[in-house]
Structure formats: structure tokens, C-alpha cells
């Protein structure tokens, strides 16, 4: 499993800690497994979007399209 500090992973970890929730607490409240929460907070790149949205819903958020700078993407591949 890749370990990345993605903006999503950082956001969820900070929100969880701000509410004094443990990872097991968050998993229970979101209706997902503890392993899923751990993978999510570690920045695993292959996760089910429906489950990610289950967790984000607790914080009034959901996944959606985000603009990217295509030129940066092209330059990174070079």
C-alpha cells in the first residue's frame, strides 16, 4: 500500500482529531470498517468513492470534481 499524505487524508485526520474521535469511533459512526479508515488516513490511492463519501458525510462534505492545472500534469510526465 502506498502511503501518501493527500489533502483528503490530512483533512479527515484533522477533522477526526478536532472532534476527539478515535479511528474506531469514526469507523463506527460512518458505518465503515476500521481498516478502511486507516487506509483512508494513510492516503491509499484505491478506495471506493461511495465509502469515502460515507465518511465525508459526517463532516458535511462529499467528493466531487476538482479543477486541475493540465499544464502541470503534462510537465510532470516529461
Which of the following CATH numbers is that of domain 7-77: 3.40.50.150, 1.20.58.480, 1.10.260.40, 1.10.760.10? Answer: 1.10.260.40
- The pLDDT assigned to 70 comes to 79
Is the Cβ–Cβ distance between 36 and 51 less than 8 Å? yes
Is the Cβ–Cβ distance between 39 and 9 less than 8 Å? no
How many angstroms separate the most distant Cα atoms in the chain? 44
Written as nine digits, the cell of 57 is: 458525510
Q: What is the pTM of this model?
A: 0.76
DSSP type of residue 78: -
DSSP type of residue 30: H
- The pLDDT assigned to 3 comes to 47
Domain chopping of the chain, boundaries: 7-77
pLDDT by residue for the chain (78 residues), tens digit each?
Answer: 444 568 999 999 999 999 999 999 999 999 999 999 999 999 998 999 999 999 999 999 999 888 878 776 677 765
Amino acid at each position: 500500500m502506498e502511503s501518501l499524505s493527500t489533502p483528503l487524508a490530512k483533512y479527515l485526520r484533522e477533522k477526526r482529531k478536532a472532534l476527539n474521535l478515535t479511528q474506531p469511533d469514526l469507523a463506527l459512526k460512518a458505518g465503515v470498517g476500521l481498516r478502511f479508515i486507516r487506509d483512508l488516513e494513510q492516503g491509499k490511492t484505491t478506495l471506493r468513492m461511495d465509502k469515502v463519501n460515507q465518511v465525508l458525510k459526517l463532516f458535511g462534505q462529499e467528493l466531487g470534481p476538482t479543477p486541475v492545472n493540465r499544464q502541470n500534469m503534462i510537465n510532470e510526465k516529461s
